[in-house]
Structure 1
């Protein structure tokens, strides 16, 4: 009798098949979720479906990624499904959720020591799509690891963890498995978006279970890892009259082939120093607005003009929230600044009532920070994402690449140049796209199902500055309508 159990298990293994056995194993991975019906700062019951939870992505080290899932207002599983990642290598996805494309936003009113107020975002992308917002990599937002080794991740390992998270999440939520899946992100997160899409595509080809219904991806104000992300700032600044003809010519002459973050040519380094000084006179996230301190959603580089100031800790701003000390408050921001709502996010996310409502596991994250970039280990092991853009779109997947036309952090000139460098034929030439009878930006379409678009008046990142135009662009593209 003692030998019957192993034999039965062996028979069961072959009867269900290897892929199904893997699915059963995945289903046993640690995950938890909570339906959230109310949030501190929002009056009454939430008028949208919000679920929060964790998915374990590293069993050995106990690493878990935290997520917010918002169901589409247009019809649940019948709507497209979007995995959304926010910029910065360790920035919380709450920025994307509450400052850019999610269903609620902070009321930009002076902070009075209580939980900040929330209101509905009329241009939420969840009106047309289901969106899974994920705090990634491990250590960002409310994601955590029980062992220190779990924080030692990089671009490739994080991408693979996100693929595992999707597989697990769809096993736990099978009604969405057939939904049209898209991967999206902005700024630094857009660097890994096409790599994740390629890994999902490879999983589909290998018939890895569950099979995801990948249709494409979108990348906003996207970094690639290439020098062009930075070098394009020079002609952009010249075109807007921020630098002189003479400085532009000097940089063009002496910085050819140089790494703009670490130039070896002395004349180039000197010219770039002058360039950085001049660029610091404008707000590089949106060059027409008054300069404000802001916590950038991208990693700091030599030419990101205000990231250093933005990350200064002002100890006199430390506040007490429901018995919790905010030891690392954001820079003091005047209420009129576009970044004021990012300032409020610290006091909302560190409120004990907020943590209880979201189901944050006690003892996992002592203090929520909007960005941890530079404070935690992270390996940049994807040198360039451009080849992954080419690979994925060459296989027939759709892509939307968009830029705010007033973004000097990742200028549209560089993005337009690398999109063109893919070498795919044009199927719809450069033209305006419209909203309310006026141009909302300009766009061009390529044979490989890739669309590049600018958003008029938008900065870095685009939805924070031009939410209505970005919603129009996204909703048309995700529903496969002409831009």
Structure 2
């Protein structure tokens, strides 16, 4: 399983350790690194055949956390299998593989044993992450070493339940104007493919030669058994175990509209601790938030879309406040 590990820019010895999973299924975590919450991004300009230029961002979550950006399931990004007869990846199988990966990674990096650990990601990862949290929790209790200092999880615009997610689109469209074509079509995505597929870049990333062909941002042809029909039961189990969770929704996301996300959160039937209220940045409303008795915080990002790239600075501030235990 291929990954990119970036240390916290603050205090890596004590700051939280995150694993970030991009959705799809079949989308590389490199997308999250350069388009959503990582310390690097591409300068968007006309491509002239050279290696695209990267620059440092100001909104990276690595300002306050160590992050493993993981390509999963196998077949995504630069992750590969040597076994030509390997089973088709599945949601539940992916949860087990990620748990196995994390324990092996920590065994090789014991300096991070005690860091608070969170499973994070967006979109289709919303189906798998609650199952990963459950898998890690079970492993900690039953058998597995090293122990993972699991504290909770963070989901951005999560795919959760097909009925709730899909049916909410009509409700959402009824109450909202559509976003512009210019915002929706974003021209910078190809730069990641140009950059990653340069031989010099692949050598620098230590990609094993011959294991994968051309890197693509999202491998839509990847066969995955979507055997988790709804992740709501996993959310219930994780709530019982007492794990913190932050659920983020862009209020202009029509793929998994916030109204559908609100519906499944309400279906958990936990009492409200802090009612629907705005959260602010510099005296401006940046979104709205509700806190529930199961340590779950729901927050919208004003003007946000399906991924964090639409409002990266606002999402970064939201994450930094939550991860440090501050009020939003």
Could you say which TM-score interval applies, normalised by the shorter chain? over 0.9
Q: Which residue, 275, 278, 290 being the options, matches 2:182?
A: 290
TM-score (norm 1): 0.67
The structural deviation recorded for 1:207 is 4.6
Gaps of 5+ in 1: 1-64, 242-281, 294-337
**Residues 17-32 of structure 1: pairs in structure 2 closer than 5 A:** none
**Residues 7-22 of structure 1: pairs in structure 2 closer than 5 A:** none
Partner of 1:360: 207
**Residues 289-438 of structure 1: pairs in structure 2 closer than 5 A:** 289-290=181-182, 293=185, 338=186, 340-373=187-220, 375-438=221-284
Q: How many matched pairs?
A: 328
**Residues 95-114 of structure 1: pairs in structure 2 closer than 5 A:** 95-114=31-50
The structural deviation recorded for 1:150 is 2.8
Partner of 2:174: 238
- Corresponding residue SS for 1:434: strand
Partner of 1:197: 133
Say if 1:236 and 1:292 are closer, same or farther in 2 by CA, change over 3 A.
Answer: closer
Contact 1:151 1:377 in 2 (8 A): no
- Corresponding residue SS for 1:105: strand
Contact 1:216 1:398 in 2 (8 A): yes
The structural deviation recorded for 1:290 is 2.7
The CA distance in 2 between the partners of 1:127 and 1:465, in whole Å, is: 19
The structural deviation recorded for 1:479 is 1.1
The CA distance in 2 between the partners of 1:380 and 1:444, in whole Å, is: 30
The structural deviation recorded for 1:470 is 0.3
- Corresponding residue SS for 1:147: coil
- Corresponding residue SS for 1:443: strand
Q: Which has the larger radius of gyration?
A: 1
Poorly superposed stretches of 4+, deviation over 6 Å: none
Contact 1:137 1:158 in 2 (8 A): yes
**Residues 35-114 of structure 1: pairs in structure 2 closer than 5 A:** 65-114=1-50
Q: Is structure 2 residue 57 aligned with structure 1 residue 121?
A: yes
Contact 1:66 1:135 in 2 (8 A): yes
The structural deviation recorded for 1:436 is 1.1
Residues 250-277 of structure 1: per-residue CA shift (max 9 Å, x gap):
xxxxxxxxxxxxxxxxxxxxxxxxxxxx
Partner of 2:326: 481
The CA distance in 1 between the partners of 2:92 and 2:41, in whole Å, is: 32
Q: Is structure 2 residue 313 aligned with structure 1 residue 468?
A: yes
Residues 290-342 of structure 1: per-residue CA shift (max 9 Å, x gap):
3654xxxxxxxxxxxxxxxxxxxxxxxxxxxxxxxxxxxxxxxxxxxx3x221
Partner of 1:26: none
TM-score (norm 2): 0.97
The structural deviation recorded for 1:377 is 1.9
Residues 151-189 of structure 1: per-residue CA shift (max 9 Å, x gap):
611111111000000000000000001100000110001
Say if 1:453 and 1:289 are closer, same or farther in 2 by CA, change over 3 A.
Answer: farther
The CA distance in 2 between the partners of 1:97 and 1:425, in whole Å, is: 35
Q: Which residue, 144, 147, 152 being the options, matches 1:216?
A: 152
Partner of 1:445: 291
- RCO greater where, 1 or 2, for CA within 8 Å and sep 6 or more? 2
Say if 1:157 and 1:446 are closer, same or farther in 2 by CA, change over 3 A.
Answer: same
The structural deviation recorded for 1:209 is 1.2
